[in-house]
Chain A
Amino acid sequence: EVQLVESGGGLVQPGGSLRLSCAASGFTFSSYWMNWVRRAPGEGLVWVSRIKSDGSGASYVDSVKGRFTISRDNAKNTLYLQMNSLRAEDTAVYYCARISGSYGGVSDFWGQGTVVTVSS
């Protein structure tokens, strides 16, 4: 059974940092590209970042460039999102999502999400 379990969310002050993790199981993690997507309260889905299966080729939405870093450890089957210089507008549920290699790059399976709250 495919599982993605996010962790690391919490309450942080503006300007602070958090590292999110996404533990994968039930599939060959090292073969899949991965996404981070977030949903702010009362808002829609926003793609945050993507990383290729070998850890290269990271991409980011403009609003997080220079502040967030996506990475992965294929030996540990884990995806990460290092978030620095956090702002109130980064408050959201953060989801990791597997990118299907068969469907042209769509995210076919999502974790339950972890909540990040940026507030003083």
Chain B
Amino acid sequence: DIVMTQSPDSLAVSLGERATINCKSSQSVLYSSNNKSYLAWYQQKPGQPPKLLIYWASTRESGVPDRFSGSGSGTDFTLTISSLQAEDVAVYYCHQYYSIPLTFGPGTKVDIK
């Protein structure tokens, strides 16, 4: 099984400041035939289902604000919120969909400082 880890567990950032979340997979999730990393980022707010933000490590889902960006390849990935807004308070999960069993990181809680 591919184990996903995230850091930090939580972070508090001032409004308008940058938030950075790291994710590491225990094995590469890069599919060599298309050179794409099968890594996604989700945002989950209390009482709501997860919302897809980023797929293929760096492609923003339609309708997601451009302050959200993803980077990385292989085993190391980053989600950046360039200018934190109040509505971004949530738990963020990375997720590998490269192989079964599909796995998620433990989540990073983002709050306002």
Query: Inside 8 A of A91's CB, which chain B residues have their CB?
Result: none
Query: Inside 8 A of B104's CB, which chain A residues have their CB?
Result: 44-47
Pairwise interchain contact A106-B52, C-beta atoms closer than 8 A: yes
Indicate whether A30 reaches chain B with its CB closer than 8 angstroms: no
Query: How long is the Cα–Cα vector from A46 to B1 in the complex, in angstroms?
Result: 13
The chain A residue sitting closest to B62, CB to CB, is A108
Query: How long is the Cα–Cα vector from A50 to B4 in the complex, in angstroms?
Result: 19
Which B residues between 63 and 113 are near A, CB-CB below 8 angstroms?
A: 93, 95, 97, 100-107
Pairwise interchain contact B49-A112, C-beta atoms closer than 8 A: yes
Complex partner residue of A107 from B38, B44, B52, B59, CB under 8 angstroms: B52
Instruction: List the interface of chain A (C-beta within 8 A of B).
Output: 35, 37, 44-47, 50, 59, 61-62, 95, 97, 100, 103-113
